[in-house]
Structures are given as C-alpha cells and as structure tokens.
Amino acid sequence: MLLSGLTILVCWSVVKPLFGLHPFGGSSTENTAGIKVMTWNVHLFDLGEWTRDKTSKAKILNLIKEENPDILCLQEFFMEDGGSGEPYTNIIRQLGYPYFKFSEESKMSKRIMNAQALHGENILIGHAVFSKFPLQNDIRYPLGLSYYNLLSVDVVVDSTHIFNLNVTHLASVRFGENDINYLESLKEKGAQAEINQKSKSIIYRLRNAFSLRAHQANLIDSIKDETDYPLIICGDFNDVPGSYVYQTVKGDLQDPFVAKGFGFGRTYRNIMPTLRIDYILFDGDHLKPNSYRTPNVNLSDHRPVIANFSFK
C-alpha cells in the first residue's frame, strides 16, 4: 500500500487528469452567469449513417438547441462546396449565433460518405465556431500536414472581457468500423490474442499518428504565446490525459475536468470506456470553471464536452 501510494504521489501530475473526483461538478446553474462553452466532434453529422439512426441529424441539432451554449465549437463539421452554408450552417446560426467562423481542412466528394449523394457534390470539412459574441482577428495556423490546422479567434464578450479561443482536431489513427471490430475481438481474446498482420498494421498506424500529434502539440505550444488575451483551447486531441500531447498543449493551462469532472470522463464512445480525448483547456489566471459535463448521447463517435466559465 505504501509503495502504491508513493507511486501515485510521484506521478500525481499524470494521475490527476485521469479520474474526476467531483460527482456534482456538472450540476451548477450554468446560464445564470458565466460563459458556456461546448465542443463536439459531430462526425460529419452522421453523414455516413454510422449510428444506424435516421433521426440522428435532427437529434444533434436539438441537443445544441437544448444546451444553448454561448460558444459552440464543432470538429468534423461540413458545408456544401459553393459557399451557401448548407446544410447546417444557416440552421445553427438561426438558433442564436450571429457570429461564425469556419476553418477548412479537406474537401472531398460527398458520395464517398453517402451513396445517396448526387454525382459531383463536394463537401468542405473542418472545424467551426458559432458564437453569441463578436469574433475578430481569426487566424488559421497550419499543423504539419496541409489538412490539419488550428483556428484561433478573439471572442469579445464586452469592452473589458476578451479571450482568445483556439479550436483544433489533431491527427487521427483513422480507425474504420472493421478496425474497431477487430480491436474488440482482441479484447475478448486477451492474452491469447495472436499478433498477425492486421495487428502489425494497426500498431504501425498508431505509431505514425502518435508521432504526428507530438509534432502538432509542439506547434500549438509555440502558438500559445502569440496572444495577450486569456486562452481557451478546445477540440478533439485524439490522445489521452497524461500523454505527451495533452501535457504539451495544456502547459500552464488548466483542465475543467480536474476541477469539476467525475469518473473517467469518457468522450470517445468506441474501443475503451476510459478514452477521454476531447478537451476544453483554459487560462486559470483569468478564468474560473463553474461546471463540466460530457452528456452521454449516441449521436456521434464522440460525446460533447461542456464547461461553464466566469471571468476572475
């Protein structure tokens, strides 16, 4: 017991973000004061119908409406190519978000994701910010490969309160449904699992993704010094607490999960029940966390992350 306790104490900075100790940290009254921030990888609004739920798109929009955050950050958001804002941009803006920024990461044929799409239809994929407050000075920072970037924008709450919001989606291993099913089968076999060519392929992809995310984390760490305003960094980091990526991006920032979260804080729905890979990190010198939640909804492969902040 003493050895285990000593090990935990020595590694406390790594252990602390793994398990939340605040069962009532999500029950604070959120909209009476402070700023409510919601980040969510919406997985292209279930464009490929991965959830097998024909109503998932409407449910995603309904959840956004019900939560009514002041700042909404969406990863794997898409728009029809052509600048019309369809199909979701205009709908979400009509929910009370007059300010909008989009950072494109890739362009592809819509038919790749949905066979019902018309030939020649293309979509733009990236991350989006919807805000009830004015957005200014938006900058897109490249993160390694051409289709990864960080969207930085100043949020003007009022004349005396401005913060710098950064939204990103770091490199993914890009597991498909067959890969996830294979990993689930390995979990069932346990120690008897055989290391075959499929396993080696997954290990190779994991290694490459880890390396790329480490490079991206270093770039983000250097970008953090380019603003004089309090920072909030959020998005899908595709890496767990205690990892090099988490520790590097976090730096001197704080994690509202540590202050207000409970349990493992799972945000990714597949593979393991302990995968917290989506984050909202904030400047603890200027902002105070009031609450933190990850609603358990099966509308994407990720859960939304919601935190409420007050200015100190």
Query: Is 2 inside any structural domain?
Result: no
Q: Examine residue 5 and state whether it is found in any structural domain, yes or no.
A: no
Asked if the structure places residue 9 within a domain, the reply is no
Whether 303 shows a pLDDT value over 60: the answer reads: yes
- Specify if 260 maps to a domain: yes
CATH of the domain at 53: 3.60.10.10
Distance CA 283, CA 69 (A): 19
What is the tally of structural domains in the chain? 1
Cα 144 from Cα 227, distance rounded (Å): 21
Long-range contacts for 156-163 (Cβ within 8 Å, ≥24 apart)? 157/35, 157/133, 157/311, 161/311, 162/229, 163/229, 163/230, 163/231, 163/232, 163/283, 163/286, 163/287
Asked whether residue 156 is assigned to any structural domain, the reply reads yes
Give how far Cα 22 sits from Cα of 19, 97, 168, 211, 254, Å.
9, 31, 27, 33, 16
Q: How large is the average pLDDT for residues 270-281?
A: 87
Residue 62 lies in a domain: yes
Helix (H) or strand (E) holding 142: strand 135-142
* 141 in a structural domain: yes
Pick 225 or 180 by higher pLDDT.
225
User: Between residues 247 and 13, which one has the greater pLDDT?
Assistant: 247
> Residue 11 falls within a domain, yes or no?
no
Q: What is the dihedral of CA 45, 96, 289, 140, to 10 degrees?
A: 60
Query: In the structure, what pLDDT confidence band is assigned to residue 14 with cuts at 50, 70 and 90?
Result: low
Q: Compute the distance between CA of residue 292 and CA of residue 287 in angstroms, rounded to an integer.
A: 14
Examine the pLDDT at 30 and tell me if it is beyond 60.
no
- pLDDT band at residue 31 under the 50/70/90 scheme: very low
Higher pLDDT, 160 or 207: 160
For residue 72, the number of C-alpha atoms closer than 13 Å in the C-beta half-sphere is: 24
What is the model's pLDDT at position 59?
A: 96
- Residue 129 in this model has a pLDDT that exceeds 50: yes
Determine the pLDDT at residue 281.
Answer: 98
Q: Say yes or no to pLDDT of 198 above 80.
A: no
Per DSSP, helices labelled H in 190-273 are 197-223, 244-250, 256-260
pLDDT digits (tens, 9 = 90+) for 211-264: 899 999 999 999 998 999 999 999 999 999 989 999 999 999 999 999 998 877
Domain enclosing residue 238, as ranges: 20-311
Tokens 């993160």 correspond to 143
